[in-house]
Structure formats: C-alpha cells, structure tokens
Amino acid sequence: MQQSKRRTAPASFLTALALAAACWTAVPSVALAQGAARQSDFIVAVVNSEPITNLEVQRRTARVVQQLRQQGGRMPTQAELSRQALESLVVERAQLQQAREMGLKVDEAAINLAEQNVARQNQIDVAELRRRIVLDGMTTTQFRNDLRDQILMSRLRDRELDARVRVSDAEVEQFLREQTDTAPAAPTEINLAQVLVAVPENATPQQVAERQARAQDVEKRARAGEDFAALARSFSDGTDAAAGGEMGLRSPDRYPELFLQATAQLPVGGITEPVRSGAGFHILKVVDKRQAGALQSITQQHARHILLRVDAQQTEANARERLAGMRRRIVAGQADFAALAQASSQDGSAAQGGDLGWSNPGQFVPEFEEVLDALRPGEISEPIVSRFGVHLIQLLERRQYQLNPREQREVARNLVRERKMDEAYRSWLQELRGRAYVELRQAPQ
C-alpha cells in the first residue's frame, strides 16, 4: 500500500480530473443542455478528422459554470465560456488520439478503481453513485467513458513528461538558496476549507435570508469548537464537502480573490464570517499556510489500519459490512483495534496490530492518504476503498519532524521536479495542440 515516491500532477491535469470526478454533481445543468440541443446538435470543430459537437461544448460549459459557482469565482461571458470549453475539448481530443496511436489502453479494473474513488469522495457506494448518475440524466457508460479518457490522458502525460524532466544538483542548490533568501512575510501556499451554503439563482429575499441564517449557524458552531470537517460533510453544498471542505494546498493565485481577502489576516485555524459570492455563502477556515523557506520540517502521521482484500471470496460490500461491524465494536469499547487487526487484517502490518509507523507526506496512495489527513488523533475512519481493498484507518498521532540536510535536499528536489513538470506539461500541450489539424466550423451555441 505504501509508495516511496508520488509525483504531483500538473495543476491543469488536477482540474481536469476534478471535473471528471464531479461529473454527476454537475449533470442537472448538462441534462438541461441535452434537452435544449437534442434537435439542433451540430459539428463545431474537427480535430484530425474527429468531430466535436455543440452538445459536447454545452456539457463542458455546464461543468465549468457549476465549479465557478461553487468556488465563488468570476463568471466569464457565455461566449468566453464556450470558447474555453471548445479549446479544452480540442486539446483533450488531440491527447486521446495520440494515446491511441501509441497503443496505450485502460482496462476495466482501472476504471472500476476510479469509479470507486469518486463514490468514496462523495461518501456513497458505487451502486448509489450509478443510481444518482442515471437520475441526473447521464448514463453510467458516459460517466465511465469520461473516467477512461482521464486515465488514458494521465498515462500519456506520464510517458511523455518523464523523459523530459531532469533535476540537477545545481538546480537543487539554487532552489535552497532562493528559499533561504525569500522573506517569509507572505505564504507561498495556502490550504483553505469551506462550508458552502448555496443560494439558488433568482432566489427571493426570504430564501437569501434563510441561507444566510443557516451559514451564520454553521459559523457559530465552528467557532464553538465543532469539527469543521464534520460540519462541511454535513452541511456544505460544495463538491469538496466529502473531503471535509478542504480545497487543498495551493498558491494564492489559484484561489478566488474573494477568499484571499476574507482570510488574509487570519492565522492557521482562523474562521471567517459568511462570505457572499455568486454561489452563496462561504464559511472559510485557514487549514494551513506554508512559507517559501519552510523546508525545515514536515508533518508526519502515525496510523494503523485493518485491510480486507476484495476477491472472488469477498465482495466490496461484504468487506465494508465486516469493517463497519468492527468499527462499531471498537468505538463501543467491546473490541481492541490491534487485536482485530492481528486476527483479520490481510496486510503485512497485521502482526504489529496494523501499525504502519510514522509516515511522510506522499508515502501512501492518494485514496488512503486523503482520508488519513482528514482524521483527528484517535479517530477511526469509516470503511474506505483503495486499490488494495477496503480499509479501516485510525490516526494515532501527528508530529512535526525536523528534516536533516539530506532530507531537505530530497524535499527540494521533489519541489523543483514538480515545478518543472508543470512547465513541461504546458509546453507539451502547446506542442501537441500546434501539431493537430483543427478545423473550426459553426460557432457553438
């Protein structure tokens, strides 16, 4: 389950993957677009002989609008939205064509895992995810095809970019000097969490007042000490609710200006009053701020788990049910976590009571680590699915670990590589787009 290295995907790809993961939550808008365009769909562009239709542009535009509303971002004009949606589809089509030409494929197991991860992020099982997708007007085949495309593009990028990016010792030394010389007055990365109380379009004053009162109640409860992540999971209308409202560690320019202004003077742990945007009312919490020179320490986590593998003898549903029963017994004080791990866990850590020791950021696979990051010390997760099976995770403790010079250099090397990967990704996309034959036909509507 552990991995010694985990490459961070370029920001643009993370956005694309987030769009795929949020497909079913954005489908109501897409379904309306389908109804309006069914009788008038037409080709708007051709990429190397493959068409892009007006309906595809409408679907992509609806997803972007949904995201911008939830994040409180500036809403471009309809013409600009359509232009951006068409361009993103052109670039994606060019990538998929190259991937097929190179013989890259995605098997059903990889799509199943991606589907399980989307279900987990929304705190539902796969059967419920599929039911909601169909109710919202999208077929499961369309959804799985979207996931297939995202995985295929990811594999293409890995193959293309790995050979392009090398980090020299001189670049590492230069990076460390830059960090030392940079004044730590402003954070270079921020992690914000939100509870979004959505306000419908064309809401009446009474509806706005009701939503504002609801947001103020959430703020009051958060300031009184209730767990912010639990409040987000219970009350937020944002697509990040399942992750405790966390939007992830990112540079300030990747947050809406509205969010930056509201949190500028807050320390880590600080909570804002409800902030009004076009999407509704946002209650924001500063989860983390990192300075440019903060390479001296990292946050380590000490956890243990129970793993049940999914195979012909044990379905995912059975594994979930067994682990849910174990969790109830542990929480009720009727069983010991370590003893159950020794007796039941199908992992090499079973002999140690499921103890995984101290871990560094990025040591575990993402679907495991995301859940671990959201736990409080002593808290036990609900059963979660990873590529290895179904887990029950308990966070034992966290600590700040001081890096020695060798470890600081390794962290610096990884950061330089991530930065160069992002630059290489943008350059590669431009090259790929430039090589593609694109014929623009009728403008999208």
Tell me the domain boundaries of the chain: 11-164+432-440, 185-290, 297-402
Q: Is the dihedral of CA 91, 92, 96, 97 positive or negative?
A: negative
Residues in the chain with pLDDT values less than 50: 2-39, 183
User: From CA 385, how far away is CA 388, in angstroms rounded?
Assistant: 8
Question: Which one-letter DSSP state was computed for residue 173?
Answer: H
Q: Which phi and psi (to 5°) does residue 287 adopt? A: -85, -40
Tell me if 185-290 shares its fold with 297-402: yes
pLDDT at residue 187, rounded to an integer:
60
User: From CA 440, how far away is CA 1, in angstroms rounded?
Assistant: 47
Kindly list the distances between the CA atom of residue 133 and the CA atoms of 3, 28, 85, 138, in Å, as whole numbers in the listed order. Answer: 33, 10, 22, 5
Crossing angle of helices 126-135 and 23-37, in 10° steps, is 20
- β-strand pairing of 384-386 with 280-290: unpaired
Q: Which pair of structure tokens corresponds to residue 135?
A: 């109710």
Length of the chain, in residues: 445
Amino acid found at 206: Q
User: From CA 370, how far away is CA 376, in angstroms rounded?
Assistant: 13
**Residue closest to 282 by CA, chosen among 273, 294, 290:** 273
pLDDT at residue 31, rounded to an integer:
44
Options 3.10.50.40, 1.20.1050.10, 3.30.70.2740, 3.90.1170.50; CATH for 297-402 is 3.10.50.40
SS3 349: helix
SS3 3: coil
Query: At CA 98, angle to CA 93 and CA 100, rounded to 5?
Result: 95
pLDDT at residue 26, rounded to an integer:
35
**Residue closest to 51 by CA, chosen among 80, 20, 86, 17:** 86
User: From CA 146, how far away is CA 118, in angstroms rounded?
Assistant: 12
pLDDT at residue 43, rounded to an integer:
93
Question: Which one-letter DSSP state was computed for residue 364?
Answer: B
- Residue written as token pair 């951006």: 84
Say which CATH class 185-290 falls into.
Answer: alpha beta
Q: Characterize 415-443 residue by residue with b for buried, 16 or more Cβ atoms within 10 angstroms of its Cβ, and e for exposed.
A: bbbbebbbebbeebbeebeeebebeeeee
pLDDT at residue 252, rounded to an integer:
81
**Residue closest to 416 by CA, chosen among 255, 156, 157, 179:** 179
- DSSP sequence for 267-296: PTT-BPPPEE-SSEEEEEEEEEEE-TT--S
pLDDT at residue 101, rounded to an integer:
92
pLDDT at residue 291, rounded to an integer:
62
pLDDT at residue 70, rounded to an integer:
62
**Residue closest to 163 by CA, chosen among 420, 416, 429:** 420
Is the CATH number of domain 11-164+432-440 2.160.20.60? no
- β-strand pairing of 246-250 with 275-276: unpaired
pLDDT at residue 295, rounded to an integer:
64
User: From CA 227, how far away is CA 239, in angstroms rounded?
Assistant: 19
User: From CA 18, how far away is CA 25, in angstroms rounded?
Assistant: 11
Chain centroid to Cα 186, Å, comes to 25
